[in-house]
Structure 1
């Protein structure tokens, strides 16, 4: 258990995790009281690690809805799941596999303001230092670097702007008032740097030209009406 003052980790106690997560694909179906988060994690066992080594993922107050490995449901006897930890007792023999985890979180009721929460009707995330584990089960430690692709789905009138790390790939309409956007960050990063913002925000726009002649668009997002102040 972690206390409010945090846990002390000493350098001499450090050891690499048995597993890596080189790629993380996240889908958010945003709703104030019941946001569905589907994480597809590419899991890779480190060289020299026994195939019998369990995979232990961090959580914090999570509700697990679904779990699959390489497209197949995981049997209850093959895992240990609590709101604060998920253990795959017998991972696949293959060195690399895909783990799908679906969780449900309630941003509007998140008074800790860690993980995914709502502030002034805007969805926000705070993942430093251990907030990402409040979104999905993960190896939530700074030495696990992953490339993130993020898809956000939301009601357009509630969250017309959908932002995450990296670069925008696509966006579109889903019907019934819903829309989506996909962002991709090509640079591996730790989970505490993950960010998501979705809501009704104003935009200050500008651009600059690099030494190579490439034009780079800039955007700063603020509360509506403050973009002119």
Structure 2
């Protein structure tokens, strides 16, 4: 394909992979015995039209069919009896006393994303923005899913996700959830640094769209550089079941 044709394709779909990529294949090979699904922030404030951030993320979520694709991933991993982990995002009253924060942190605190009454109470939690999306609860609350302690900004450095995965003998992560250029990318980077092989499921995430930039596009570009593989939900399900 000519450079002109590639440029035209990118204009039609800016998220499309390059026809002639310069980066090599990693040789990643899925081993179900060592693999886990890790879903970041499958919560109402991200994934529901009633959530606090829908005006920023909603278009990308709808275009990617993110909610349904995450459901497919939960379903196939549970049917196969494989490890599933969730890394949630919660803010307690003490977290609103921080003296500084980045731009998105400021936004999250301002719109009260993921707010809970405290770490030792579920008062007001059910159905709140911090709660899990209702259709995912049968998978998450089955007594087998790892629900890690909350991450506080973007990455898992402040929670026990890596420890929980190591204790299960996991060394390969299928990564999905929200948000593409924030928590998902931060989890990707840290898990790679921790020695995990990481596959990102490109249509089981979504990113913000603001005048400041398209977060999903930024994430897709970085995934190509960083992830051991970048799959669709369909590719992931096929790799697991065939």
Shorter-chain TM-score category?
under 0.3
Higher Cα Rg: structure 1 or 2?
1
Q: Which has the higher contact order (CA 8 A, sep 6+)?
A: 2
Where is the strand percentage greater, Structure 1 or Structure 2? Answer: 1
TM-score when normalising by structure 2 = 0.27
TM-score when normalising by structure 1 = 0.28
